A = this chain, B = another copy of it.
Amino acid sequence: MSLTLRADARRNLDRLLAAAAECFAEHGVDASIDEIAKRAGIGHATVFRRFPTKEALLTAVVLERIRELAAAAEAALADPDAGQAFDGFFRAAAEVYARNRALVERFDSCIETEEVAALEVAVGRLVWRAQRAGALRRDITALDVMELVPAASRHPDVILDGLRARPS
């Protein structure tokens, strides 16, 4: 047994993941395995050799998107302006959600994963910094922010205004 895939298998796996990401983003969890396999240019049985169920493939794709969100949060932390850092991440995350139906539909089922834990740590830091800088209301947690992101794809300005610290 080897831990590395044969070259053709590796190529097919890459294509599969790319096709699955597209299909799930576009059609949500209802995207069919047949459609994904077709788009990847492979037979549908090949999908089940890599992932035991459709659910497993879906989870893999969604976790990949969550890792992307976490990376965006980490990147935002580099911005010295805490308010801008938060806003930038929030808008970027809203875009990712807007382009990924399956992410919206399945984020909740990933809550117990390392990936979401890492995301929450990074967002928590963004939130804390922005609050200290007076750019974000205090009665808000990282979890609240993540729940508001999908809503923000339509009217981010309104929601960001709602999140800013009250003039008090």
Contacts and interface: CB of A to CB of B under 8 A. Distances in A.
A144 interface: yes
Total copies of this chain within the assembly: 2
Q: Which of A137, A160, A161, A162 has the most CB of B within 10 A?
A: A162
A54 B147 CA distance: 32
Main secondary structure of the interface of A (DSSP, over half): helix
A60 interface: no
A158 B152 CA distance: 12
A150 B150 CA distance: 11
Nearest to A158: B162
A111 to B, nearest CB: 15
A140 interface: yes
A161 B140 CA distance: 13
Contacts of A157: 162
